[in-house]
Amino acid sequence: MPAYRPPQIAASEITPKTIYMSRRNFIGAAAAAGIGLTFGGEALAAPLTAQPGPYKLNEKLTPKEAITTYNNFYEFGVGKEDPSQNSGAFKPTPWSVKVEGLVGKPKEFGLDEIMKMKLEERTYRMRCVEGWSMVIPWIGFPLSAILDKVDPLGSAKYVAFETVVRPEEMPGQGGLFQALPWPYVEGLRMDEARHPLTILAVGLYGETLPNQNGAPIRLVVPWKYGFKGIKSIVKIKLVEEQPQTTWKNSNAREYGFYSNVNPAVDHPRWSQATEQRIGEGGFFGTKRVDTLPFNGYADEVASLYAGMDLKANY
């Protein structure tokens, strides 16, 4: 994986200070009014208020620019810079998330209600199966909080997720070449979904989620590889049988349902023993660090998999 390089910005594209300040004042007024905006195709993040969460790391945060310009989000393209470059037309508002299936009180949650949940800032390590990692200050709330509102039935063993399909706004979903089948789908076991570490994120670095990071709401499960973090969620369904997942359907040999970070199990095409920490080792450089079992969250989650063969259940 090549080292991260910040995008080159032409001098002609730098906004004059007077225009920048007037734009900033306009954005602030709109944010106070709860208005979602775009400006010249660029998604504008509004500030969020969140209380400190229970999970923090004594580790250097990945620079915001790296987090927002080096992404996997195939709906906008397969290149790491594609999501930031191709997501300006995506409209994250209005939005709603349907929660249905084996529940006593199925419900469709509007974005206003979602944003009124008790938001927390939590700093998590995030590890990509390709061998790179980041430390991200997410803003969100436990997934269990929204599950509690729909009264899950005892027969519900898994939670399935589905992302939006908008090929007119998501160029990776259109055209002749399709990297993946759409919609993107993902799933967790119920005890994984209800674990306190599992959150639905609506922001990062104190602002609402940028389009390229999964706006307006995405899943974050920090002890699993990044592809489990389904973005732009429109449906959550509680089911009895293990749900389908996009990457397992696409290549079951390389991507299993559980997808826990396990440095002792190599990907068929590369080692998982170390990782590149994006944004460290110099100005937007990278350095290699040892990969930790369960991405460093073994004390919190290893008990979920007691007695399981983690090589067979990868």
Residue 13 scores a pLDDT above 90: no
Tokens (6 digits) for 252: 């079951």
Q: Do 185 and 171 sit in the same domain of this protein?
A: yes
Q: Do 26 and 154 sit in the same domain of this protein?
A: no
Q: Determine the Cα–Cα distance for residues 286 and 3; give it in Å rounded to an integer.
A: 6
The answer to whether residue 310 is domain-embedded is: no
Q: Do 40 and 170 sit in the same domain of this protein?
A: no
Q: Do 255 and 165 sit in the same domain of this protein?
A: yes
| Domain extent at residue 36 | 16-45
Q: Do 86 and 124 sit in the same domain of this protein?
A: yes
Q: Do 152 and 299 sit in the same domain of this protein?
A: yes
The answer to whether residue 94 is domain-embedded is: yes
Q: Percent of the chain scored above 70 by pLDDT? A: 84
When pLDDT is averaged across residues 79-95 and rounded to a whole number, the result is 97
Q: How confident is the model at residue 282 (pLDDT cuts 50, 70, 90)?
A: low
71 and 83 in contact (C-beta within 8 Å)?
A: yes
Residue 196 scores a pLDDT above 90: yes
> How many domains does the chain contain in total?
2
The answer to whether residue 311 is domain-embedded is: no
Could you tell me how far CA 15 lies from the centroid of its own chain? 30
Residue 6 scores a pLDDT above 50: no
Q: Do 261 and 295 sit in the same domain of this protein?
A: yes
Q: Do 123 and 242 sit in the same domain of this protein?
A: yes
125 and 135 in contact (C-beta within 8 Å)?
A: yes
Task: List the CATH number of the domain containing 135.
Answer: 3.90.420.10
Q: How confident is the model at residue 285 (pLDDT cuts 50, 70, 90)?
A: low
Residue 187 scores a pLDDT above 80: yes
The answer to whether residue 200 is domain-embedded is: yes
**Reported pTM:** 0.86
Q: Where are the beta strands (DSSP E) in the chain?
A: 37-39, 42-44, 51-52, 96-101, 107-110, 120-127, 132-142, 158-163, 185-189, 199-204, 207-208, 218-220, 233-239, 274-278, 286-290
Average pLDDT, the chain: 87
Q: Do 163 and 301 sit in the same domain of this protein?
A: yes
Q: Are strands 286-290 and 158-163 parallel, antiparallel or unpaired?
A: unpaired
Kindly report which listed range (1-10, 44-53, 76-85, 289-298) carries the lowest average pLDDT score: 1-10
Kindly report which listed range (39-53, 95-109, 236-250, 282-296) carries the lowest average pLDDT score: 39-53
Which of 28, 45, 62 lies at the terminal end of a domain, its last residue? Answer: 45
